[in-house]
């Protein structure tokens, strides 16, 4: 339809998208595949592609099968034939990120489809402002230029894209660098985002603020949420003065002037936790003598190991030898008291479990905490914890003893301090805090389990404490389905447990969302079947999975469904999904991973044929 309400494209397609570069993508109602029409409604690109065509700079990513992608022009001709596993959009530098099908490494291609930068990179972002963020085999981030040369060394724990001359990068905290790699805004944030129109959103302890390119605050970090794009030139924030007051919206100009408030403006709150600090006494916290002696011994071992190293390492361990473990213990207990008090003030639910974890997205300098309120089964390796709030910040230790200058020993010193010293101290400080008033005030189940883990670690959480002597609350299979899958994947909730896909949900349940669901289902397969944590959950899921193949357009989901149906002793359904994957690169690559789940099919002749093809 045009602006005067006249029908331009006839009502003959299943779906249609907005126009880009004079082309609107349309889906055939018969084949369910996509093509494109011009502004007169003429079909100029035949409906043969699996996804909509979004043209940018006169070209669009296109794929006719699930194994490879290419680029087409607005006339439908391939500018780059499908030969790569994945391709990003072309940047203003004329380069697009591409993944090699064999090595799974990243490179960049030009408009001819040739590699301008060979696919030798472990991971890369798109180019922005002439630079692209990459990370190496050690997962350290740096930046390359358009020739592929590393112009900013891979030394950061994470790195964002350049925007307006700044890139957000992570060391122990987030800050900003310029295109030479020099710090322009020192690392001091829990999280930082890219600059837009001269300002950037930053986070400090789950509160958000806005900074200028000078690093000065435009809006202090006291807000629960900040939205850049509600109205042109305005910034929307969600503000909650205290735990007893509902949050409300405000609008500011980009220079920090209040334009409109949902209610009368309240006095700005103090930084998080400050209202509680005066109620806590430090002089009633004493480190156990045995722990102090153990920490001093461990410290000396680390000092001896690194005191002959590089100059930055020598400086670091010299500072380590000066650390007062009495003060570190006192500060850790104080922070735990604050965390328990904040939890009591802000949560009315009954606490049933706590998981402390070293969060590497924050530079691994502190422990965040998640909590459970409706399940606390110690045998469930994926016990459902929510929140992720910072609980103990050890930056006051790491900032002294981990070299700021990049040196060979930096990571080793960091890990030794974390694992050999702070892990030991934290466990004792936590035990101390569990006997104090702040923790006693929390509404909690009996028993209450407390775990510790490391972010992105395959090992299950370590049980630190069981508080109380009661029986744990365990989810049955039906409750598990409700809490674990339907809540995390709401687009799946309307079709879960039905034999056919819901017609109206086909568009939302696209390849991307199916891949996302497959990731969750595969995690359950690994944990509950291979690790033998809760095998009954796998059966409960399999019984409720859709039986129809009609809209399964994700290779990942198809292989995952095959595994579930094979384990549920439904061989024909499992084979249906394997037939769809037969002779695809995805099946070849992931077959060994999936074979443990497909063992019930080993005697089936058709399955043997598929396995033989992969082996040969």
**More confidently predicted of 123 and 10:** 123
CB burial of residue 601 (10 Å; 0-12, 13-18, 19+): buried
Q: Mean pLDDT across the stretch 236-259?
A: 86
Sheet with 131-135: strands ordered across? 123-128, 131-135, 141-144, 150-156
Question: Is the pLDDT confidence value at 555 over 50?
Answer: yes
Strand partners, 209: 202
Closest CA to 495 of 444, 426, 557: 557
pLDDT for 505 = 54
Q: Mean pLDDT across the stretch 382-407?
A: 75
Question: Is the pLDDT confidence value at 460 over 60?
Answer: yes
| pLDDT classification of 496: cutoffs 50, 70, 90 | low
pLDDT for 243 = 64
Q: Which of 378-392, 447-461, 567-581 has the lowest mean pLDDT?
A: 378-392
Q: Which of 69-78, 221-230, 279-288 has the lowest mean pLDDT?
A: 279-288
Question: Is the pLDDT confidence value at 290 over 90?
Answer: yes
Residue with tokens 């009609």: 550
H/E segment holding residue 565: helix 555-567
Question: Is the pLDDT confidence value at 454 over 90?
Answer: no
Question: Is the pLDDT confidence value at 473 over 90?
Answer: no
Question: Is the pLDDT confidence value at 365 over 90?
Answer: no
Closest CA to 157 of 141, 176, 181, 144: 141
Between CA 269 and CA 289 the distance in angstroms is 40
Counting residues of the chain whose pLDDT is more than 90, the rounded percentage is 39
Residue with tokens 């095998």: 535
Between CA 612 and CA 616 the distance in angstroms is 6
Q: Helices 535-544 and 511-524, interaxial angle, to 10°?
A: 150
| pLDDT classification of 508: cutoffs 50, 70, 90 | low
Between CA 566 and CA 530 the distance in angstroms is 14
Helix (H, G, I), strand (E, B) or coil at 65: coil
**More confidently predicted of 176 and 267:** 176
Closest CA to 358 of 417, 273, 291: 417
Beta carbons of 535 and 524 less than 8 angstroms apart: no
**More confidently predicted of 102 and 134:** 134
| pLDDT classification of 358: cutoffs 50, 70, 90 | confident
What is the 3 state secondary structure string of 248-312?
EEEEEECCCCEEEECCCCCCCCCCCCHHHHCCCCCCCCCCCHHHHHHHHHHHHHHHHHHCCCCHH
H/E segment holding residue 223: strand 217-223
Encode pLDDT of 36-56 as tens digits.
999 888 999 999 998 899 998
Q: Mean pLDDT across the stretch 118-125?
A: 93
Strand partners, 59: 56, 73
Beta carbons of 201 and 193 less than 8 angstroms apart: yes
H/E segment holding residue 118: strand 115-121
- Do strands 34-37 and 366-372 pair parallel, antiparallel, or not at all (unpaired)? unpaired
Question: Is the pLDDT confidence value at 280 over 60?
Answer: no
pLDDT for 506 = 56
Tally of CB atoms within 10 A around 85: 16
Question: Is the pLDDT confidence value at 58 over 70?
Answer: yes
- pTM strictly above 0.85: no
Between CA 56 and CA 66 the distance in angstroms is 22
pLDDT for 56 = 83
Question: Is the pLDDT confidence value at 415 over 70?
Answer: yes
Helix (H, G, I), strand (E, B) or coil at 30: coil
Q: Mean pLDDT across the stretch 19-24?
A: 90
pLDDT for 194 = 95
CB burial of residue 438 (10 Å; 0-12, 13-18, 19+): buried
- Copy the structure tokens of residue 287: 């480190």
pLDDT for 591 = 84
Residue-range domain boundaries for the chain: 277-467, 477-615
pLDDT for 436 = 94
Between CA 461 and CA 382 the distance in angstroms is 9
CB burial of residue 3 (10 Å; 0-12, 13-18, 19+): exposed
Q: Which of 321-325, 369-373, 545-549 has the lowest mean pLDDT?
A: 545-549
Beta carbons of 545 and 492 less than 8 angstroms apart: no
pLDDT for 272 = 43
**More confidently predicted of 216 and 459:** 216
H/E segment holding residue 541: helix 535-544
pLDDT for 376 = 65
583 CB contacts (<8 Å, ≥6 apart)?
Answer: 613
Between CA 452 and CA 419 the distance in angstroms is 12
What phi and psi values does residue 15 have, to the nearest 5 degrees?
-150, 165
Question: Is the pLDDT confidence value at 369 over 80?
Answer: yes
pLDDT for 347 = 74
| pLDDT classification of 406: cutoffs 50, 70, 90 | low
Beta carbons of 100 and 115 less than 8 angstroms apart: no
pLDDT for 375 = 64
Closest CA to 200 of 231, 166, 245, 170: 166
pLDDT for 361 = 52
Q: Helices 423-433 and 325-346, interaxial angle, to 10°?
A: 50
pLDDT for 277 = 44
Encode pLDDT of 111-121 as tens digits.
888 999 999 99
**Residue-averaged pLDDT of the chain:** 84
What phi and psi values does residue 454 have, to the nearest 5 degrees?
-120, 135
């Amino acid at each position: 339809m045009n602006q005067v309400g006249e029908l331009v494209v006839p009502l003959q397609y299943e779906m249609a998208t907005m126009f880009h570069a004079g082309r609107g993508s349309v889906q055939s109602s018969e084949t369910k595949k996509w093509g494109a029409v011009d502004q007169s409604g003429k079909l100029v690109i035949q409906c043969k592609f699996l996804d909509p065509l979004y043209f940018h700079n006169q070209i669009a990513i296109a794929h006719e099968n699930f194994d490879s992608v290419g680029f087409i022009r607005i006339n439908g001709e391939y500018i780059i034939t499908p030969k790569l596993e994945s391709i990003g959009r072309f940047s203003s530098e004329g380069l697009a990120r591409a993944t090699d099908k064999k090595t799974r490494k990243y490179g960049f291609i030009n408009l001819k489809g040739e590699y301008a930068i060979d696919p030798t990179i472990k991971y890369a972002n798109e180019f922005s402002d002439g630079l692209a963020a990459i990370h190496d085999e050690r997962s350290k981030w740096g930046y390359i230029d358009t020739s592929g040369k590393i112009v900013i060394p891979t030394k950061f724990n994470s790195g964002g894209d350049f925007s307006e001359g700044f890139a957000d990068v992570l060391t122990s905290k987030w800050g900003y660098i310029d295109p030479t790699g020099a710090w322009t805004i020192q690392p001091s944030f829990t999280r930082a985002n890219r600059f837009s129109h001269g300002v950037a959103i930053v986070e400090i302890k789950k509160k958000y603020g806005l900074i200028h390119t000078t690093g000065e605050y435009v809006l202090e970090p006291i807000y629960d949420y900040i939205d850049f794009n509600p109205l042109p030139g305005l910034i929307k924030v969600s503000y909650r003065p205290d735990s007893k007051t509902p949050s409300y919206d405000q609008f500011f100009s980009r220079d920090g002037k209040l334009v409109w408030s949902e209610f009368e403006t309240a006095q700005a709150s103090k930084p998080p936790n400050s209202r509680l600090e005066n109620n806590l006494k430090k002089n009633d916290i004493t480190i156990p003598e045995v722990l102090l002696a153990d920490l001093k011994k461990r410290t000396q071992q680390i000092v001896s190991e690194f005191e002959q190293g590089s100059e930055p390492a020598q400086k670091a361990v010299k500072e380590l030898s000066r650390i007062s473990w009495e003060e570190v213990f006192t500060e850790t207990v104080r922070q735990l008291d604050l965390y328990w008090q904040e939890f009591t003030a802000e949560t009315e639910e009954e606490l049933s479990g706590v998981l402390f974890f070293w969060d590497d997205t924050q530079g691994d300098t502190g422990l965040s905490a998640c909590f459970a309120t409706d399940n606390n089964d110690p045998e469930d390796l994926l016990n459902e914890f929510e929140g992720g709030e910072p609980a103990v910040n050890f930056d006051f230790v790491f900032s002294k003893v981990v070299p700021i200058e990049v040196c060979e020993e930096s990571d080793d010193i960091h890990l030794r301090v974390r694992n050999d010293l702070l892990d030991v101290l934290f466990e004792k400080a936590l035990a101390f805090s569990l006997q104090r008033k702040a923790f006693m005030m929390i509404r909690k189940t009996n028993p209450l389990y407390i775990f510790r883990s490391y972010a992105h670690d395959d090992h299950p959480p370590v049980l630190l404490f069981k508080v109380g002597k009661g029986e744990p609350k365990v989810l049955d299979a039906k409750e598990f389905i409700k809490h674990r899958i339907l809540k995390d994947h709401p687009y799946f909730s309307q079709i879960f447990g039905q034999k056919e896909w819901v017609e109206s949900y086909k568009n939302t349940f696209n390849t991307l969302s199916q891949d996302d669901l497959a990731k969750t289902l595969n995690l359950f397969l690994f944990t509950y079947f291979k690790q033998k944590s809760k095998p009954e959950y796998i059966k409960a899921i399999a019984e409720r999975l859709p039986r129809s193949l009609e809209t399964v357009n994700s290779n990942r989901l198809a292989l995952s469904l095959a595994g579930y149906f094979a384990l549920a002793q439904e061989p024909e359904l499992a084979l249906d999904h394997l037939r769809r994957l037969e002779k695809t690169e995805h099946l070849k690559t992931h077959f060994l991973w999936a074979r443990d789940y497909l063992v019930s099919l080993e005697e089936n002749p058709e399955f043997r044929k598929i396995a033989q093809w992969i082996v040969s």
